[in-house]
Amino acid sequence: MFKAVGDALRTPGKIAVENELDSAHLAKLKAQLVARKIDPGMTGTLASWATNVVLMYAPDTRPTHIIDMQIATEAVADKKQYAGLESVQTALAVFQGVPEPRQILMLKDLLDHPRGPDTQEPLAARYFTDTLPAGFLQQLTDYPSTLPPQDLAWFKDYYYRVLLDQRTAGFYRGLDQPLQHGGCFVAVGIGHLAGEHGLIALLRHAGYQVTPQSLN
């Protein structure tokens, strides 16, 4: 799976990100790649959408920190089956679907306002309450930004409509068989749980009993 992701991130020719950025932003990008222990020469092969995906992870993120890798590793160790709720191609298509000019706008914004662990910690803290509070989803895009209002509105709409709701509906369809079989553990991003289109609401609407569990 992870090899497929790595292969998909690279693109040959003129559409590589180094040909799309001004010198100041290219310098920032190379510094961000170095901070993630990625060869800065990769700017000659990375597409803009792929670079955005890379920058969404904090610099100190390692493969072992990513929940997908943790689950896969533990499943293999325990000789249990595991599967994704969406294919690699489906997941990446969500990012590839953003028009190139807006990809560059997003990339420059990420470089001007780098995401760090501190942007995720408040969201994680709210997750461990008994319920996800009102307005929770709006916090997922509540980051500093210098995007023009029209573009910012477009990105927020795309985020909620495609990255969250559309993918959540796909996750729900993928859960049908595992839940009927029983005895499964499911992990999704926090944004796919809350709201009227979130997995919690979809499962309850389908007749499942969904009960918050304390980790204390």
Structure confidence by residue, pLDDT tens digits, 168-201 = 999 999 998 888 888 788 888 878 888 889 999 9
> pTM to 2 decimals?
0.76
Q: Tell me the two tokens of residue 37.
A: 């222990």
Give the residue-averaged pLDDT of 84-103: 85
| DSSP one-letter string for 176-192 | HHHHHH--------GGG
Cα distance between residue 134 and residue 204, in whole Å: 18
Contact 163, 195 (CB under 8 A): no
**What pLDDT, on the 0 to 100 scale, is given for residue 216?**
60
Distance CA 145, CA 165 (A): 23
Q: Which two tokens stand for residue 189?
A: 């991003």
